[in-house]
Structure 1
Amino acid sequence: MPYLRFWLLSASLFLTACSNINQQSPPESASGTHHSLDSPEQRARLEQLAKQTNWRLRGKIGLRSPQKNGSGFIDWQQKNDQFRLQVSGPLGQGSTTITGNKQALQVQGANEQSAQDPNLQAERALGWPLPQQEMPYWVRGLAAPDTPHQAKWSDGLLQQLEQNGWHIEYQRYSRHRTPLPEKIKLRRDDIQITLVVKRWQ
């Protein structure tokens, strides 16, 4: 009988421990994928930025690649899914203006070339790759929706992002009530783009 009681008590303790383990939530991945948000403040920031679909940024943009190096000025205006992007200076080869949405683009400038793929059309117009479908999200410190990505956060702000073959680093944020990126570096293979935002509206 003592042996039977000991066995029953041990089995009961074992089953209780297993039950407690199964009820625990799995730890979050250290890679910081898009499924994990580390604070209520971060969730609130993402929700607020996602609602801001009308905005404008002005600043400088620089490019480093084996084929081309240079800098210029950038003026990006976004109204819902419509945008107007103007790049001027040596990097824009004078002045290049791109207007449109995710489906179609119109180009005015030195290299007015058409293509079925909007990203390819923007690249041909500017002479360097511009992921214009993702950029409206990236420049605000957001990952583009519905696309796999990996992200690293600190104090509720996006610090690094891997998405669609691009690596994005957020090196400085503004001191607005809702901080917005002021210096971003984007890299893909041997291409590096640096965006310095001088003014947000």
Structure 2
Amino acid sequence: MWLLKHKYKSNGYLERHNARLVCDGRSQEISVDCDETFSPVVKSATIRTVLSLAMAKKWSIHQFDVKNAFLHGDLQETVYMHQPSGLLIGGLLIMLGAGIISQLQTEFSMTDLGPLSYFLGIAVTRSPSYLLLSQEKYAHEILEHICSLASALQYLTFTRPDIAYAVQQVCLFMHDPRELHYEALKRILRYVQGIIDHGLHLYHTASH
């Protein structure tokens, strides 16, 4: 089946329409998890380290959307399906650039998103002295949906290390939760709601 959704920019304006073909989406529920299409495989500590290094070295940070997910998987079984209605075979757009970006673009379909401002649902604000990573929009979303809150909070710890320990302890009991664990989860949510605009600052330290 086709899953259709809107992709928005960090300022809330529509960026583009997305269409995703799912071979077996029967386990997903509308308004619950149909939009859960991305799972980051890189560790959050790795991203924080790279961004901190960029700030320390005063490097510019540029972002690209590389469309290469699941293109090279080796299937061990034969998959049968009907071509869904609405499928169009269009031309391949090849973008030209310079240096390593140009080389990458010869291998992958890429979209130049400009200086780093929004990635993986994380808003990025940069000043000469610090980099602010904020998941305020994501925090609002998980407060509005009670389903799978514990796992959702795990991702929020990317920019909110202040709740990392409490979230980890709650997640240890999610396979067999009790009322005590549910109350602890609600306490974390109340805490997040109270300081929902907080984020992670990565400062540039002047060298001597």
Tell me if TM exceeds 0.5: no
Q: TM-score range by the shorter chain?
A: under 0.3
- Tell which structure's C-alpha radius of gyration is larger: 1
Structure that is richer in helix per residue: 2
Question: Taking structure 2 as the reference length, what is the TM-score of the superposition?
Answer: 0.22
Structure having the larger proportion of residues in strand? 1
